[in-house]
Structures are given as structure tokens and as C-alpha cells.
């Protein structure tokens, strides 16, 4: 991993979610030989290195959300001068709801090579153990913090035909699941994965209503939520259009009526509006 003059590059490295023994041999070698290690949390990085019996020979710098932008120019300069920069986050793959994306795009713009040491990801791990369909899925990052934004975001999943995976704070999990019951229905299949690969790993599977009840007493640890795809419902669009037109003929506003009827029927507001024109 030691850089040769003029061969600088960025190496994205996935780190264990919990158990240090999940680290790859290549990650261990990279930690030992990189010229610069950019770490989301330098204390966690040193703890991981210690668990792996590695002593980093390169310079270690912090690289978390608040300093990410300011660190990039110096890292780009180091790589253009021939250094290998290893980017690691606290757990899992850099750039997946963690620092990294901005640095990758900066490297591409500066024509600096970017490569990756693949490994653990909470997204695919949770998907695999959830027991929910995993042939097609969507990753939604972190759930919005504010109730209004979260409600609109959940609304976008109402008709999602792919399994959805997202991260959530343990402090907001109960509120998010309760709101999901309201928006997506109490019978929607889901799973909550807590402390993946760690000592107290727990996988809870069931309906949203069952999971909301379980989470109401409080949950701790790193959380990944998986929500199953929506079940297709046969809808008589012509019948809904007739209801819309009947109310519009009585003087009500088309857009308002279409939105109300679409929401009640669980269909796309835009689709019903367009069909009613």
C-alpha cells in the first residue's frame, strides 16, 4: 500500500460492523501501509487497529461530517503528490450514509484514481437476515427527523414495490414505527435489526404494528430497519374517476377532490388527477 511517486490514489475501505474478526486481510494490510488514513473517528480507528494487531505507519487525520469539506483540498494535494489515502468510517462502507462521497467526487474531478476494499455493509446484512424479498430493494439513508418530513417520506413508500432499507436513531425508532403504521398500514411486513454482528445482536421480524408495540418501551444500539414491498391492490380507476367527476360537477375543485379520493383509495394522486382530466 505504500505509494510510489506519482501513483497516489484513494482507497475506500469497509470496516467491521462490530466484530473485528470480520476485517479482511486486505484491510489489515492497508491500515499498516497507507501514507494517510482519513478516519471518521480516530479513536475508533486506533481501537480497530489495536484489535487487529496493526500499527499504522502513516499519518492519521479525522474525516467526519463537520470537517469533511475543509479536509478535502489537503488530501487531494497529498494524493496528487503520490500518497495513498485510506478512507475508513466507524463501521461499514464509506459513502453509504457516511463521509466519503464528496472526497470521491473531488478525486474524480482531479483525475485521482479511486479504488475500494469491499466488506461489511449494514444495508445488505439487514436485508439478508430480514426474511423479506431481496431481489429488488431501495436504500433510503436515514429517516427524516421531523414528523412532517418523515410522514411525506413514508408516503412515498406507500406504493413502493421494492423492499426498503433505512437507518434510524434508537431514540426516534418508536416514533418512526408508529408513524409508519399510520401511513403504510399496520399489516405491512418489516424487520428491525439491532447491533448487527455485535454481542447483543437482535433481529425482530413482524408487522409494523407488532414492531411499533415492541419499540414503544425503548430500544438501544445501532438500528437498521427493513420494510417489505407494498402488496399490489387491484383498483377500479374508472370508478374512482366517476366519483371525482361527480363531485367536480357539483362545484368542487378537481385537484382537491382527486387528491382526497386517491389518498382514501391508496392510489397515485397524479395518476387519478390525470385520468380525471
The confidence score (pLDDT) of residue 44 equals 96
Alpha-carbon span 223 to 225, nearest angstrom:
7
Where do we find the cell 413514508? 154
Q: How far apart are CA 12 and CA 118, in angstroms?
A: 8
Residue 235: per-residue pLDDT: 65
CA distance 126 to 216: 21
Q: Which residues pair with 203 in a beta bridge?
A: 193
> Distance between CA atoms of 12 and 100, rounded to whole angstroms?
8
Architecture per CATH, domain 9-120, reads as 3-Layer(aba) Sandwich (3.40)
Q: Per residue in 228-257, is it b (16+ CB within 10 Å) or e — as a string?
A: bbbeeeeeeeeebbebbeebbeeeeeeeeb
User: Looking at the DSSP assignment, which residues form a beta bridge with residue 39?
Assistant: 62, 88
- Dihedral sign for Cα atoms in the order 141, 146, 151, 155: negative
pLDDT given at position 5 = 39
**DSSP conformation letters of 19-51:** -GGG--HHHHHHHHH-SEEEES-HHHHHHHHHH
Pairing mode of beta strands 84-88, 36-39: parallel
Q: Indicate the burial class of 61 (C-beta count within 10 angstroms; 0-12, 13-18, 19 or more).
A: middle
Whole-angstrom distance, CA of residue 177 vs CA of residue 236: 30
Task: Provide block-wise average pLDDT over 10 residues at a time, the chain (277 residues).
Answer: 61 95 95 97 97 96 95 97 96 91 96 95 96 96 95 93 97 97 95 96 97 96 96 75 91 91 80 87
Domain with CATH 3.40.1010.10 in the chain: 9-120
Q: Region of 182 please: left (phi>0), alpha (psi -120 to 50) or beta.
A: alpha
Residue limits of CATH 3.30.950.10 in the chain: 123-227
pLDDT at residue 41, as a whole number: 96
The CATH T-level fold of domain 123-227 is: 3.30.950
| 8 Cβ neighbours under 8 A, 6+ residues apart | 78, 79, 80, 81, 82, 83, 84, 85, 112, 113
- pLDDT of 2: 43
Amino acid at each position: 500500500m505504500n505509494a510510489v511517486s506519482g501513483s497516489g490514489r484513494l482507497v475506500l475501505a469497509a470496516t467491521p460492523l462490530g466484530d473485528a474478526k470480520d476485517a479482511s486481510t486486505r484491510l489489515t494490510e492497508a491500515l499498516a501501509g497507507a501514507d494517510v488514513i482519513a478516519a471518521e473517528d480516530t479513536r475508533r480507528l486506533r481501537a480497530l487497529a489495536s484489535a487487529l494487531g496493526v500499527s499504522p505507519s502513516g499519518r492519521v487525520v479525522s474525516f467526519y461530517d463537520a470537517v469533511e469539506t475543509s479536509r478535502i483540498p489537503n488530501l487531494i494535494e497529498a494524493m496528487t503528490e503520490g500518497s495513498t489515502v485510506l478512507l475508513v468510517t466507524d463501521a461499514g462502507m464509506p459513502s453509504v450514509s457516511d463521509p466519503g462521497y464528496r472526497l470521491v467526487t473531488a478525486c474524480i474531478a482531479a483525475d485521482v484514481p479511486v479504488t475500494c476494499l469491499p466488506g461489511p455493509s449494514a444495508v445488505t446484512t439487514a436485508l439478508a437476515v430480514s426474511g423479506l424479498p431481496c431481489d429488488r430493494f431501495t436504500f433510503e439513508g436515514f429517516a427524516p427527523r421531523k414528523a412532517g418530513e418523515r410522514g411525506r417520506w413514508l408516503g412515498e413508500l406507500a406504493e413502493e414495490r421494492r423492499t426498503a432499507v433505512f437507518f434510524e436513531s434508537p431514540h426516534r425508532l418508536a416514533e418512526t414505527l408508529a408513524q409508519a403504521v399510520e401511513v403504510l398500514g399496520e399489516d405491512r411486513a418489516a424487520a428491525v435489526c439491532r447491533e448487527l454482528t455485535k454481542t447483543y445482536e437482535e433481529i425482530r421480524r413482524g408487522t409494523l404494528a407488532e414492531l411499533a408495540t415492541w419499540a414503544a418501551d425503548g430500544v438501544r444500539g445501532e438500528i437498521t430497519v427493513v420494510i417489505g414491498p407494498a402488496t399490489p391492490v387491484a383498483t377500479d380507476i374508472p370508478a374512482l374517476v366517476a366519483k371525482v367527476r361527480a363531485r367536480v360537477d357539483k362545484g368542487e375543485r378537481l385537484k382537491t377532490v382527486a387528491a382526497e379520493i386517491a389518498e382514501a383509495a391508496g392510489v397515485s394522486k397524479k395518476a387519478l388527477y390525470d385520468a380525471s382530466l
